Amino acid sequence: MPLQTTIAILGAGSLANGLAPKLYGAGYTVTEIVGRDSAGSRRHARLLAKQVHARPVTASDAAFDATLLWFCVPDRAIRAAASSLAKRNIGKLKYAFHSSGALSGHELADLKRRGLSVASVHPLMTFVFGATPSLDGVPFVLEGDPAAVRLARSIVRRLGGATYLLPASRKPAYHTWATMTSPLLVAFLVALEQVARKAGLGKKDARRMSLPILRQTIANYAALGPADSFSGPIIRGDAATVAKHLGVLRKDTVARDTYIALANAALRSLPARNRKELRRLLQQTQDSK
């Protein structure tokens, strides 16, 4: 069944550029890359279609001569796009997926009323232009109609990923976790760059110098778990050093608040000495804002 499935991709952004070549490489026929009418989207669609030997089209001239339509568009656009497509000839489509981590398959309800089996299929991976992540071992969280979920399992297995079922009611919490795992981690790394400037380092030097310790921390977390990966002044109970850190960050409210929030999280969940004094110090700093 997997190789008999043909796929049309709706969208030509970063997710489509990460997913379509992997589907093509796994043996699937990608029939169309459906872009928007804007010049930029048409250009992205042409470039992606060339990679996967598909036709670059827009919604108005798409044939939808595929088994599966995979929505790779922003969350806010999924329902409207599905509703618009449901009003027209949708070719031989039998299935529709979207890849929102926060929304359920119900966003595709108008296509379901046209007889399609629908599901949400979210890869727990970051997709950005300029990087092509491997999908080996990547979790894909599934929710939706049984037939669509079965097809999704088959496709993900061929891509090398792993599948997990999740009730629709838990998707917002799941996506909160996913967002903290990558996008907000990048925001934290930007805060690190800002603090590094106080030590006289430029952004490039800060990134280069921080990578070894970041990689080792992730490796320790994976191999040993959080408690045995934790190090530094909080686990030692070194309130004097923490006070110096807070002094450095006194005028940088974003970095200071980030430091305090993470230090309080560490005091709640990780091994630490001198907790009472550390909590008092953090609270005094917060109260003095």
pLDDT, tens digit, for every residue of 249-266?
999 999 999 999 999 999
Sheet holding 162-165, edge to edge: 55-58, 29-35, 6-10, 68-71, 95-98, 117-123, 139-144, 162-165
The architecture in CATH of the region 2-169 reads 3-Layer(aba) Sandwich (3.40)
- What integer pLDDT is reported at residue 91 of this predicted model? 86
SS (H, E, C) the chain: CHHHCEEEEECCCHHHHHHHHHHHHCCCEEEEEEECCCHHHHHHHHHHHHHHCCEEEECCCCCCCCCEEEECCCHHHHHHHHHHHHCCCCCCCCEEEECCCCCCHHHHHHHHCCCCEEEEEEECCCCCCCCCCCCCCCEEEEEECHHHHHHHHHHHHHHCCEEEECCHHHHHHHHHHHHHHCHHHHHHHHHHHHHHHHCCCCHHHHHHHHHHHHHHHHHHHHHHCHHHHCCCHHHHCCHHHHHHHHHHCCCCHHHHHHHHHHHHHHHHHCCCCCHHHHHHHHHHHHHCC
How does pLDDT run along the chain (289 residues), one tens digit per residue?
Answer: 446 899 999 999 999 999 999 999 999 999 999 999 999 999 999 999 999 999 999 999 999 999 999 999 999 999 999 999 999 988 899 999 999 999 999 999 999 999 999 999 999 999 999 998 999 999 999 999 999 999 999 999 999 999 999 999 999 999 999 999 999 999 999 999 999 999 999 999 999 999 999 999 999 999 999 999 999 999 999 999 999 999 999 999 999 999 999 999 999 999 999 999 999 999 999 988 7
Residue that has been written with the tokens 């329902």 in this structure? 79
- What integer pLDDT is reported at residue 271 of this predicted model? 97
- What integer pLDDT is reported at residue 15 of this predicted model? 97
CA dist 4 and 1 (Å) reads: 5
Residue that has been written with the tokens 């490039």 in this structure? 204
- What integer pLDDT is reported at residue 3 of this predicted model? 60
